Amino acid sequence: MLTVAVAGGSRPELLELVQHARAELNEELVFKVFDTDSNIDDQGLWEYTPCQTEEESVQKTIACVVRKEADIILKGGVKTHTLLKEVLKKEHGLKNKELLSHVALVNLPALGRQILLTDSGMNIEPSEDQLESIIENVMEVGKKIGLTRPKIALLSAAENFNPKMPSSVMAQALTETFKDQKEAIVHGPLSLDLALSKEAVKQKRYEGPIEGDADILVVPSIDTGNALYKSFILFGQATMGGTIVGTKVPIVLTSRSDAVKSKLHALKFAIMQANQ
C-alpha cells in the first residue's frame, strides 16, 4: 500500500484525479490531503487536514513524508517554488542527489513504446556538471521502472560534432565521461530523428550505438525540453507525465490545465518509482 501526500489537494481537478486513480490503477492507494480550502470529498476518498495558509499546507505535507507516513508527494493547488523550497530544507533530509531534475514518462503512439525525457521542467541552462547529474538521475529512474542498459541520447541539432554549438560540445564531453558506464549507453551529439527513427537512420546511412532506438532523451536546455514536451502532446498525441527526482520520494507536479489522463500517467510513473 502506498500513501500520496497532496499539498493543496482539495480542488475539483484533484478530486477527479483521485477518483480515476482509485478506479483505474491496480494499486492500493491512500491519499492524505492538506489544504486551506474546505474538504470537497464526500465519498471518503482521502484523509483531509485543514490548514490556515498555503505555507502550512506545504509544511504539513512534507512533515508527513519526513515521518515516513507517505511515499509520494503530489502538488495540488500550491506554488511549485513554495513546495520545493520546503522539500529542500536541510533539516528534512529529503534531498539525496546532487541535483534535482525533471523526468517525464512519454507514451508516444507513433513509437509504439514509452521513453523518458529529461530535463524539460526544472534546470534552465545546465552546465556540463549539472547535465552529468541529470543523466545520473535519469539512469536511476530508468532502472526503477525496468529499463535494462537503456540507450541515452544526448540531443543536439546534428550528429556531427560542431565546436561552435554548445550542446554539441557538451554532448561529446559527456559521451566521453560515460564511455565506461556498464548500466547504460550514453551517446551524443545526436539529432532527434536519429535518436527515435530507424527510417531516418537508414536514409542517412548513420551508424552508431543508438540507431533510432533511444530509451531516454536528454535535452541541453529547458527551452528545448519544453518545446519538445509540448510538441509531443500537441502534434504527437502523446500521453505524458513527469516527476521531480533527486529526492527520497518522487514529486508529482500537476497543472490545472493538464488533462486527467496526463495527471494519472504522472501518478502512475511516480508509483513505479516508489515501488522500488
Give the pLDDT confidence score for residue 192 in this predicted structure: 97
Q: Are residues 118 and 165 in the same domain?
A: yes
Q: Containing domain of residue 71, as a range? A: 2-96+247-274
Whole-angstrom distance, CA of residue 115 vs CA of residue 214: 8
Low-confidence ranges of the chain (pLDDT < 70): 255-257, 276
Q: Are residues 110 and 229 in the same domain?
A: yes
Preceding peptide of 189 cis, ω within 30°: yes
Q: Are residues 106 and 232 in the same domain?
A: yes
Q: Are residues 31 and 154 in the same domain?
A: no
pLDDT tens column, 151-192: 999 999 999 999 999 999 999 999 999 999 999 999 999 999
| Residue 189 in domain | yes
Q: Are residues 84 and 114 in the same domain?
A: no
What CATH number corresponds to the domain at position 229? Answer: 3.40.718.10
Whole-angstrom distance, CA of residue 203 vs CA of residue 199: 6
pLDDT tens column, 186-229: 999 999 999 999 999 999 999 999 999 999 999 999 999 999 99
Q: Are residues 208 and 138 in the same domain?
A: yes
Q: How far is CA 62 from CA 11, 18, 74, in A?
A: 19, 19, 10
Total tally of structural domains belonging to the chain: 2
| Residue 242 in domain | no
Residue carrying the nine cell digits 500517467: 265
| Residue 92 in domain | yes
Q: Are residues 259 and 154 in the same domain?
A: no
Taking a C-beta distance cutoff of 8 angstroms, is the pair 194, 211 a contact? yes
Burial, 59: exposed, middle or buried (Cβ in 10 Å; 0-12, 13-18, 19+)?
Answer: middle
**Helices and strands of the chain, counted as H and E runs:** 9, 11
Q: Are residues 231 and 113 in the same domain?
A: yes
Give the pLDDT confidence score for residue 156 in this predicted structure: 97
Give which of 121, 126, 103, 229 is closest to 173, Cα–Cα: 126
